[in-house]
Amino acid sequence: MTHPLRAAVLALLAVGVAAAASAQAAYPQSRVTLVTHSSPGGGSDVFLRELARHLGPTMGVNFAIENVTGGSGAKAMATVARGKPDGSVFYATTPTYIQTTLLAKPDVGYTALEPVAILFEDPEVVFTRAEAPFKTLGDVIEHARRNPGKARWGAANPTSLERIALERMSRRMNVKVAVVPHEGGGDLMINVLNGTLDIGVGEVEELKGQLQAGKVRILAVFSDKRMALLPQVPTAREQGVDVVVRKFRGLAAPRGVSPEAVKALEAGLRKVLAAPGYQKSYTESNLVPMMMGHDEAVRFTGEVATDIAQTFRELGITPR
């Protein structure tokens, strides 16, 4: 390489390095706390730790995870709402923080926080035991129709999105079915496997072990479109059941959060979601990217809250 050409290349590299350093230094905080209501090892905890592992180097920020358990998210929401709106603290959002607010009516609810990004959809699927006679969602509904009062469907807990989905499916398909809530996914799985329940609803990650062992069969996904890792599984809508569950994972901040912090965070999130290393990680966890920036996240959260509130009223969980 000639000296002039080498000098030009080095100059370009220097500009690139300087630009990268500038991009990393753009975020207004060097340390950021990510708060979750989950205990260590829980869904949101795992989500945040894996996100931080990839996002930290991308943004040049030191992310710390803080687990604030209790009150089904109420304590964690209050912790973040009291924080400074300077981009130094965020809350890991899921529909739980909306449900907790509507049901428990804590002093600090989801409206005290400002949605800044929605990153993923966490699809919910309908599953049955492998030996069950059901091959489609239509088979399940037809069984319930022909055996009134005998069909049993299962959900993780009384006010979960899973139960809401099953109650909606029952009403929209005009079948009377007992939707049985459980203390958790483990108890639900036992009752599906032993035939006490015809079907259950859960996340693919929770079913992975039983799927690999060939003990369960997935009949449908409650999403707008099929899952990339399970393209053979049709959506509920494709099978004539107009039910969609919007379980999301995102971030929210104290009200009035700095626009500069929001803009820089969004840029970092978009970049890390496209990074091969993180793509491999979230794809293996069956998370579907649905990146929404601040304005979209605010609209989306409001729509989900309206939908959940209406459903709670329809089911008699909250007053009309």
Q: What is the DSSP string of 123-159?
A: -EEEEEETTSS--SHHHHHHHHHHSTTT-EEEESSTT
Cα–Cα dist 182/162, whole Å: 11
Q: What is the pLDDT of residue 64?
A: 98
Q: For the domain that residue 105 is a member of, what is the CATH number? A: 3.40.190.150
In a domain, 18, yes or no: no
**What are 40-59's pLDDT values in tens digits?**
877 788 899 999 999 999 99
pTM: 0.76
Distance separating the N- and C-terminal Cα atoms of the chain: 77
Query: CATH number for the domain including 194?
Result: 3.40.190.10
Provide the β-strand partners of residue 250. 93, 118
Pairing of strands 124-129, 216-221: antiparallel
Cα separation, 55 vs 44, in Å, equals 16
Residue 245's closest CA among 279, 212, 202, 286? 202
Q: Please tell me whether residues 255 and 230 are part of one structural domain.
A: no
Is 170 part of any domain?
yes
User: 225-268, pLDDT tens digit by residue?
Assistant: 898 888 999 999 999 999 998 889 999 999 999 999 999 999 99
Report pLDDT for 28. 96
Residue 168 lies in a domain: yes
Question: Do 253 and 212 share a structural domain?
Answer: no
Q: How far apart are CA 58 and CA 277, in angstroms?
A: 12
Q: In the listed set 188, 205, 239, which residue is the last one of a domain according to the structure?
A: 239
194, 284: one domain: no
Q: Helices marked H in the chain — which ranges?
A: 3-24, 43-59, 74-81, 95-104, 137-146, 161-172, 185-193, 204-212, 259-273, 276-284, 294-314
What mean pLDDT value characterizes the chain? 89
Cα diameter, the chain: 86
Whole-number pLDDT of residue 93? 96
What would the pLDDT profile of 183-193 be if each residue is shown by its tens digit? 667 888 999 99
Structure confidence at residue 159 (pLDDT): 67
Look at residue 15 and tell me if it is in a domain.
Answer: no
* Mean pLDDT to the nearest integer, 10-20: 44
Q: Tell me what pLDDT residue 183 has.
A: 67
Q: Where does a domain end: 239, 257, 278?
A: 239
Percent of the chain with pLDDT over 90: 65
Q: What range does the domain containing 91 cover?
A: 29-122+247-314
* In the predicted structure, residue 9 carries a pLDDT above the cut 50: no
